[in-house]
Amino acid sequence: MTDNVSAEQLRLLIERIERLEEEKRGVSDDIKDVYGEAKATGFDPKIMRAIIRLRKMEKHQLDEQDALLETYRQALGMA
Number of domains forming the structure of the chain: 2
Interatomic CA distance for residues 31 and 13, integer angstroms: 27
User: What Rg do the C-alpha atoms of the chain give, in angstroms?
Assistant: 22
Are residues 9 and 30 located together in one domain of the fold? yes
Are residues 30 and 3 located together in one domain of the fold? yes
Are residues 2 and 15 located together in one domain of the fold? yes
CA angle (65 as vertex; 63, 71 as ends), nearest 5: 105
Are residues 67 and 29 located together in one domain of the fold? no
Are residues 2 and 37 located together in one domain of the fold? yes
Are residues 39 and 51 located together in one domain of the fold? no
Segments forming the whole domain that contains residue 61? 44-79
What amino acid is encoded at 34 in this protein?
Answer: V
Q: What is the pTM of this model?
A: 0.73
Tell me the per-residue pLDDT of 17-73, one tens digit each, with 9 for 90 and over.
Answer: 999 999 999 999 999 999 999 999 999 999 999 999 999 999 999 999 999 999 999
